[in-house]
Amino acid sequence: MATPISNLRISPSETVGTGKSVAPREWGFSETLRGAMDQVQQLQGVADGKVAGLLDGGGMDVHSAMIAVEQADLSFQLMMQVRNKIVAAYQEISRMQF
Amino acid sequence: MNLFGMLAVSGSALTAERQRAEVVTSNMANMETTRTPEGGPYHRQLVVFRSRRMSQFPALLVGFGNTAAQGVRVDQVIRDAKPPIERYQPGHPDANAKGYVSYPAVDPVEETADLMGAVRAYELNASAVQSTKTMIQESLDLLR
């Protein structure tokens, strides 16, 4: 029987660097993915703003708009790769024989 | 410094070179200008670059440590101290009592060479951006 994707948990051990042990926070696959998507969205917002500034003659540099778009594109590609990995892992688990 | 940091450095260089080209084109456009808001003929302008530690907000965002990576910015635009060129044009409304008109000391050949330099430097930094992009894409392909 397939488990909903949000029930699969990755539990990181304590945070590196801080001396005291922090109660391990549980991260679901969906939260991990959502965090990545939020960051991508933020970069896309920046790129959007710069392209808008370019198109309405707001004095935006062409190259800084292009670099922002490129950053958004690259982080989107990274997000897609992470998503592919997560889905592949999920499918691997759901195919497991009991 | 991560790879987006390289983009920030190249981006600052692109901005600086664009401003340099802007100043050069302004010199070219005002080669014959005898009237300016501050009075007198136009004065040739020059840019002065200054290196910039990328430690402000965008750099924090992309995680610069205490690396030596430095961007660049236009520190100031200075006025060339060369005296204006006097040409004898008694009929000109800006001619002085002796009939001479002061024209800006702008040498078209010098400005053309400057503009070529700015364009080449821009191209160089644009290809650095391209290379950085390729590097990031290569690292993404590691996950495939």
- Boundaries of every domain in chain A: 25-94
Chain A residues near any Cβ of chain B (below 8 Å): 61, 63-64, 67, 70-71, 74, 77-78, 81-82, 85
User: In this model, does residue A17 exceed pLDDT 90?
Assistant: no
Residues B30 and B44: their CA atoms lie apart, in Å, by 8
Instruction: Convert A67-79 to b/e letters by CB count within 10 Å (16 or more is b).
Output: bbbbbbbbbbbbb
- Whether B119 and chain A come into contact, CB under 8 Å, resolves to no
Cβ distance A61 to B133 less than 8 Å, yes or no, reads no
Predicted confidence at residue A83, as pLDDT, reads 87
Predicted confidence at residue B16, as pLDDT, reads 94
Q: Is the dihedral of CA A20, A23, A28, A34 positive or negative?
A: negative
Residue of A nearest to B7 (CA): A67
User: In this model, does residue B61 exceed pLDDT 70?
Assistant: no
Higher pLDDT, B116 or A75: B116
Cβ distance B140 to A85 less than 8 Å, yes or no, reads no
pTM comes to 0.74
Predicted confidence at residue A14, as pLDDT, reads 44
User: In this model, does residue B100 exceed pLDDT 50?
Assistant: yes
Q: Give chain A positions within 8 Å (CB) of B14.
A: 61, 63-64
- Range in A19-23, A68-72, B30-34, B53-57 the model is least confident about: A19-23
Cβ distance B143 to A81 less than 8 Å, yes or no, reads yes
User: In this model, does residue B64 exceed pLDDT 90?
Assistant: no
Q: What is the pLDDT of residues B11-20, one digit of tens each?
A: 999 999 999 9
For chain B, the structural domain boundaries read 3-141
Q: Strands B70-79 and B85-88: what pairing? A: unpaired
Nearest to A61 among B4, B15, B133 (CB): B15
Instruction: Tell me which of B2, B3, B7, B122 to substitute to probe the interface with A (most A C-beta atoms closer than 10 Å).
Output: B7
Across the A/B interface, how many CB contacts are shorter than 8 Å?
33
Predicted confidence at residue A33, as pLDDT, reads 81
Residue A73 Cα, gap to closest chain B Cα (Å): 10
Cβ distance A63 to B129 less than 8 Å, yes or no, reads yes
Residue of A nearest to B129 (CA): A67
Mean pLDDT of the residues in chain A: 78
